[in-house]
């Protein structure tokens, strides 16, 4: 469902005229803002399969810090691998990395661990790997990356559209203050149910991520 279609879906529920572009009226722009607010809430509620992507890059000898390009600041990294070494990379933390790189001479070799290291000038998460690469190694990160704020009419929403529509409608009802029957509280309950159903359906696609084993 496109950004424009979602906005018009909310407008119809509000008994408002549809628009040919989200920027057509000040009210359609407001509804567009609600749609993006609802999108953020829905994205934060679950690790959606539609947002799952792979980030791959090659290391440079002597360089330890790398950006996860286009990941933004809120990406969730599920797994990291050193493809060149056919191994899983363990997750460390910044404190440990700071000690390794600042209080001692860091070991050099094939990376076996990583830690988050803030963001770069583009707002993308960066990682520091250890040992410091002594050559070119191909690293792979399995991540969930949120979709950019919807702005173009034809942009297709990645997460399930129904919870976004229902939640944006609830936000619009709350802002309006009167609804001709349905209250914002009732609509928020419907939106919550729609989101719960969507999460349950999507979780079935990656059952291995929701099954826990005793160790």
Q: pLDDT digit string (tens) for 27-41?
A: 999 999 999 999 999
Residues pairing with 119 in the sheet: 125
Helices first, then strands: H and E counts in the chain: 5, 10
59 with 42, same domain: the answer is: no
- Cβ atoms of residues 45 and 73 within 8 Å: no
Residue 149 makes CB contacts below 8 A (sequence gap 6+) with 36
C-alpha separations of 152 from 22, 122, 156 in Å? 8, 21, 9
Confidence of residue 64 (pLDDT cuts 50, 70, 90): very high
Name the token pair of 116: 């988050």
C-alpha separations of 60 from 83, 99, 101, 183 in Å? 15, 22, 17, 58
pLDDT surpasses 90 at 211: no
Confidence of residue 183 (pLDDT cuts 50, 70, 90): confident
Please say which residue of 144, 174, 189 terminates a domain. 144
110 with 179, same domain: the answer is: no
> In the prediction, which pLDDT does 74 show?
87
Domain count, the chain: 2
Give the mean pLDDT of 56-72.
Answer: 96
23 with 57, same domain: the answer is: no
Please say which residue of 144, 167, 199 terminates a domain. 144
Confidence of residue 181 (pLDDT cuts 50, 70, 90): low
Q: Which is higher by pLDDT, 52 or 207?
A: 52
Identify the domain containing residue 113 by its residue range: 50-144
- Answer yes or no: is 37 within a domain: yes
pLDDT surpasses 80 at 209: no
pLDDT in tens, 150-164: 999 999 999 999 999
61 with 22, same domain: the answer is: no
- Answer yes or no: is 149 within a domain: no
């Amino acid at each position: 469902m496109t950004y424009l279609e979602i906005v018009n879906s909310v407008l119809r529920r509000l008994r408002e005229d549809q628009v040919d572009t989200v920027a057509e009226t000040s009210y359609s722009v407001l509804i567009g803002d609600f749609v993006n607010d609802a999108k953020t809430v829905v994205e934060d509620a679950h690790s959606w399969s539609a947002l799952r992507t792979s980030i791959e890059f090659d290391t440079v000898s002597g360089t330890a810090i790398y950006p996860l390009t286009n990941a933004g600041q809120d990406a969730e990294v599920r797994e990291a691998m050193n493809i060149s070494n056919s191994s899983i990379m363990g997750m460390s933390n910044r404190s440990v990395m700071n000690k390794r790189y600042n209080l001692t001479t860091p070991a050099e070799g094939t990376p076996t661990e990583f830690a988050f290291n803030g963001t770069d000038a583009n707002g993308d998460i960066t990682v520091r790997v250890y040992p410091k690469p002594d050559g070119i190694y191909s690293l792979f990160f399995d991540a969930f990356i949120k979709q950019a704020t919807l702005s173009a009419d034809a942009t297709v929403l990645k997460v399930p559209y129904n919870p976004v529509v229902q939640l944006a409608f609830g936000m619009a009802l709350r802002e309006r203050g009167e609804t001709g029957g349905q209250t914002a509280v009732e609509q928020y309950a419907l939106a919550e149910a729609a989101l719960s159903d969507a999460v349950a359906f999507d979780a079935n696609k990656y059952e291995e991520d929701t099954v826990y084993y005793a160790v």
